[in-house]
Chains A and B, each alone.
Chain A
Amino acid sequence: MTQIMQARAMCKSYGPVRVLENVDFELDEGEAHVVIGPNGAGKTTLFRCLSGETRIDSGTITLSGSDVTALEGWQRVKSGIGRSFQVARIFGGMSAFENLIIAIETRERNKNGLRFSLRHLAPRKAVLEEAERLIGELGLEHTSDDAAENLSHGDKKRLELAMSLALKPKLLMLDEPTAGMSPSDRAEAVRLISQVRDTYGLTLLLTEHDMEVVFGLATRLTVLHQGVIIASGQPEEVRADSRVREVYLGQH
């Protein structure tokens, strides 16, 4: 199987706090790779390093075979990454619809060059239709013209997912997509994520705390503990691993 992303010997510290130590990580095309670990294990930091939000102190990251270690986040996005944040980030002052228009227009600009920004004022018809379609697909119709900052927690997460999908990424990185949701919303979110994975043919990288979500989605599971990967493999194998059981004492 081809590898879409590969990280070698990544180290990252915030000042004196060493968060990631010598982490090797790879991501195969088409898999749904879930990273779990206790609070403060470094999952979000791993995300930030892989996506380019922050530079790593040492090590290399390659994306589809090319070295992206020195590239900034927005440049990595251009080679096919979409990501969400642990606390959903959206443009609060705009409606969900406008949020999506910005995402779609940015993708088109990256694809077709700057002239895309110059010839039209209002969003093009194709952009409007795509935004409408995404709104429908992710069930955000009821948000209509509300400013996105007034949306419910779950709707914000879904809007952020929609914005990431609008980029048509190959790899989608979701940091705790179901955090703070009720159990029923959670099940719905899992259904939605596996649905978009199938329809868009995505490779997924997730972090998650909820074990039902984890085992509902994962085709591969990696356990991070104090900045070190202690197990990685088939979900069932990892579940049976003795060190993992130690870390998650009593939890599953």
Chain B
Amino acid sequence: MIDYRARFRINLAIALCGLAVFAIVPFVANSGLVFLAGLVAINIVFGLCWNFLFSGAGLLSFGHAMFFAAGAYGMAVVSLRMPELPFFLGLAFGSACGALIAMIFGYIALRRASGVYFAVLTLAFSELIHIYITKTTFLGRNDGLVGIPRPTIDLGPWVLDLTSATSYYYFIIVAMTIAAFALWCFQNSPAGRLIQAIRQDPLRTAFLGAGIRGWQLTAFVVSGTIAAFCGAVMVPFTQIASPEIAVWTVSTQPILFTLLGGAGHFWGPAVGAILFGAIAYGTRAMQGLSDITVSVLLLTVVLLIPGGLLGLWQRRRRKAGGRQPGQAGDDARPGTAAGKVEARQ
């Protein structure tokens, strides 16, 4: 039998360890590295929510940049045009923009398409959002929206001053830890279990009495909302919302993180995002080297260790411990889930 409590505790511990590691960074690294770490923290959740959709719900999205950009621009518009509104309302508005886009687009696309066709539609729609941004004066056209301030949050007796990059960094890592763990909780709730069942066999799930399309749409909206939240949190950090974050290459990022880290494990994209950040940092001096390194690494991982780095680690551990699949205390079995995921590529 599965020990659900142990699972919960282990994954909460993983999230908190991640938070602790990121919290140390400002003490041991320069401001450039802290900035990078902040972006990595955001990328982690961006990757997690993409993989929730992919491995959790079985929906392949090539257009997650649209949600990220929706959140970023939503936040930017609120803080520049309506500065009197509180910071959290900006975050909520940004996330709601992502949710709305996901709802409208998902409603249309899930009716008409599945599989690769669905993925291509997400790509097309995402490009549409990109073009809309570059053509809209209100959103700053090609220049984007610049000079987004970092907030000071009034909490009654305390005032939280997040105007410095370092203090905002701490806000980011706390917000991302909460978002990541909330996503874990959703994926492991009754609704999340059902969504995973739909991925494995939609027809069977329908004949248990569950409306497939409604649940797929739910998964899509959850993923889009969290991606938008990531974008909204990022904008005061970089202080700019530029159309570049709506370009299709941004949509490929969570896919890369997932492939590197392992799609079959909930935390796979987190490992991928950290590795990706490390490569970007290690090769920052040489133009183009980062792309080459990432490509080579990606090829190596996809060809030699399907299931990603966490998949490899889990197989190792299982061999060493001789443990049965399903007793590993993790939320996925790489042998099955990841294997299938790879086969679908």
A residues near B (Cβ < 8 Å) are 51, 53, 72-75, 77-78, 82-83, 85, 89-95, 97-98, 101-103, 105-107, 109-110, 116-118, 120-123, 145-147, 149, 163, 167
User: Could you say which of B189, B197, B333 contacts A102, with CB atoms under 8 Å apart?
Assistant: B197
Chain B nearest CB, measured from A81 CB (Å): 8
Chain B nearest CB, measured from A245 CB (Å): 36
Q: For the complex, give the distance between the alpha carbons of A102 and B327 in Å.
A: 19
Interface centre among A95, A105, A110, by most chain B C-beta atoms within 10 angstroms, is: A105
Chain A residue with minimal CB distance to B185?
Answer: A121
B4 within 8 A of A: yes
Could you list 18 further interchain pairs (A-B, Cβ under 8 angstroms) beyond the known A74-B212, A109-B190, A145-B324? A74-B207, A77-B209, A85-B203, A93-B333, A101-B193, A103-B208, A105-B194, A107-B208, A109-B194, A109-B210, A118-B191, A122-B5, A122-B8, A122-B188, A145-B325, A147-B326, A147-B336, A167-B209
A105: B residues at CB distance < 8 A:
190, 193-194
* B189 and A120 within 8 A (CB): yes
A-B pair number, CB within 8 angstroms:
107
> What size tier do the contact residues of chain B reach?
20 to 34
A75: B residues at CB distance < 8 A:
211
Q: For the complex, give the distance between the alpha carbons of A147 and B5 in Å.
A: 21
B207: A residues at CB distance < 8 A:
51, 53, 73-74, 77, 82-83
B200 within 8 A of A: yes
Contact flags B307-345 to A (C-beta < 8 A → 1, else 0): 000000000000000001111000001001100100000
Chain B nearest CB, measured from A90 CB (Å): 7
Q: For the complex, give the distance between the alpha carbons of A149 and B327 in Å.
A: 17
Q: For the complex, give the distance between the alpha carbons of A83 and B326 in Å.
A: 28
Chain B nearest CB, measured from A102 CB (Å): 5
A145: B residues at CB distance < 8 A:
1-2, 324-327
B201 within 8 A of A: yes
Q: For the complex, give the distance between the alpha carbons of A113 and B20 in Å.
A: 39
A53-B203, A74-B212, A92-B336 known; A117 vs B189 contact (CB < 8 Å):
yes
Chain A nearest CB, measured from B195 CB (Å): 10
